[in-house]
Amino acid sequence: MTATGTTSSAVLEQLQRRSADPKRRILFTGATIVTMDPDSGVLEGADLLVEGDTIAAIGPGLDREGAVVVDAAGTILTPGFVDTHRHAWETQLRRIMPDVDDLGAYVRSTLAGYATVYRPHDMYVGTRLAALTAIDSGITCMLDFSHNSRTPEHSDAAVQALADTGIRGVHASMGPHFGDWDEQWPGDLARLKDRYFASDDQLLTLRLAALATDEIAEAALAYGPRLARAAKELGIGVSVDAVFGASSSQAVLEWERDGILGADLTLIHATGLTLRAWKAIGESGTTIALAPTSDAQIGLESAIPAVDEALSVGVRPGLSIDVEVALVSDMFTQMRALHAIQRMRAVNAVYGTDRRPARITTYDVLDFATLQGARTNGLDGVTGSLTRGKKADLLVIQAEDLNNMPLNDAVGTIVLGSDARNISAVLINGEPRKWNGQVLDVDLRALRDEVHASREYVLNTPAA
């Protein structure tokens, strides 16, 4: 069943004809494989075999029998990127405030304004657009911090949007900051879990979302023993946003005292925290989600992504997109921004001395964007590296395109050279979601009409 030409239409046709076969075999041959598995590293001219939804083998000269063979010479195979925090419902408001100067301006315009008029349909449209864009740019797993759950129907729409795109989605549910709502959260999480997340072996997972303090919204949305207990009873993790400065530092120490820090908790941003707070985070194994462009561009607290602080206490963070009302939507930019900012700070800190700067590497930021992102989302046993037995969430990146040729360093090419146009294929759970450079199963004209109509409704309806 060999078809020449990387991710050719003929290969896709073969895959689609066998889509119902749970044992379908796909063999990628002759690729440079960046596994992001510490035990495997980078493999030159190697093969990768997918059986059903799982990576079955990696190495040279794998058996082709019964497989649909993809000639992957001249490409890099890498794990799909993992986004640890994105407010997906806002996506039809993309770049509506590109030069926002502070968090308060965003809160007033979006959370206290546009959010209050969203219908369940608008939640669906924004979330679906975000997930499809994520897939196009190589993000195979996305945590949707869905903090506009005004009714059960709003939550249902957001979950359904993730399901309809085929992304490995994490629905992190939180009540809205402002305006009228049913106040069904967090109680509605039990219904959501029973309806959409009953199995441990599925693409979608559930988390509880919360704020660090009550400075932005009501105290009921702030993380503490009550919400920690609700999450524990449901057996789900927690993602906490707006972790900034002195007040959040104090909150972290209170959570330490209450015994509710830990590996199932993710703190988002974590800018401007005290040394004592970071010590508590490191000792408890709490995970961190950085938002490099958000912190720097909007100017959140110190405006410096807290990568050095995290690494100093033994935490390797995940990366995230945050809000598309003002920011980019791809992971390549997050990696490059963090790589440049940290190295600038490291060199500047020792300028004029004989000390050596402690600089992170391209491998570090790719690790943050893949395996550490998966760990942050509680899914490192499932995705984040190309490892035998993990789910087949992977990218095929064209290494001989105009902007990448010649291939000299695979990790450097991914982080510093590539973008969405170089991703010829995306597999999620073994299923092609992008092929020949095109996202599959999307009617772009119909999607465009739906997005524009939703945006016009939101922009032209007075805030509730």
Tell me the pLDDT tens digit for each residue of 239-269. Answer: 999 999 999 999 999 999 999 999 999 999 9
Indicate if 178 and 41 belong to the same structural domain. no
CA 2/CA 67 separation, integer angstroms: 8
136: left (phi over 0), alpha (psi -120 to 50) or beta: alpha
What is the Cα gyration radius of the chain?
22
> Distance of CA 88 to CAs 93, 146, 156, 168, 192, Å?
10, 7, 14, 14, 18
**What is the span of the domain harbouring residue 12?**
2-80+384-439
Task: List the structure tokens of 162.
Answer: 């993730």
For residue 2, the model assigns a pLDDT of 38
Q: What is the DSSP letter of 356?
A: P
Q: What is the DSSP letter of 222?
A: B
For residue 33, the model assigns a pLDDT of 98
In a domain, 15, yes or no: yes
In a domain, 294, yes or no: yes
Indicate if 37 and 25 belong to the same structural domain. yes
H or E element in which residue 172 lies: strand 168-173
Q: At 348, which amino acid appears? A: N
> Does residue 388 contact residue 364 with C-beta atoms inside 8 Å?
no
In a domain, 444, yes or no: no
Three-state secondary structure along 382-433? CCCCCCCCCECCEEEEECCCCCCCCCCCHHHHHHHHCCHHHEEEEEECCEEE
Indicate if 112 and 64 belong to the same structural domain. no
Counting residues of the chain whose pLDDT is more than 90, the rounded percentage is 93
Tell me the pLDDT tens digit for each residue of 330-386. Answer: 999 999 999 999 999 999 999 999 999 999 999 999 999 999 999 999 999 999 999
Indicate if 242 and 255 belong to the same structural domain. yes
Residue that terminates a domain, selected from 346, 376, 406: 376
Indicate if 417 and 391 belong to the same structural domain. yes
Residue that terminates a domain, selected from 376, 396, 427: 376
Indicate if 404 and 414 belong to the same structural domain. yes
Indicate if 233 and 356 belong to the same structural domain. yes
In a domain, 200, yes or no: yes
Indicate if 53 and 86 belong to the same structural domain. no
CA 258/CA 252 separation, integer angstroms: 10
For residue 464, the model assigns a pLDDT of 80
Q: What is the number of structural domains in the chain?
A: 2
In a domain, 61, yes or no: yes
CATH number, domain at 43?
A: 2.30.40.10
Indicate if 190 and 166 belong to the same structural domain. yes
In a domain, 65, yes or no: yes
CATH number, domain at 207?
A: 3.20.20.140
Indicate if 68 and 201 belong to the same structural domain. no
Q: Which residues does the chain have with pLDDT short of 70?
A: 1-7
In a domain, 457, yes or no: no
Indicate if 266 and 117 belong to the same structural domain. yes
Q: How many CB atoms lie within 10 A of CB 437?
A: 14
Residue that terminates a domain, selected from 354, 376, 398: 376
For residue 6, the model assigns a pLDDT of 63
> What are the residues facing 294 on neighbouring strands?
none
In a domain, 12, yes or no: yes
CA 253/CA 426 separation, integer angstroms: 41
Indicate if 74 and 85 belong to the same structural domain. no
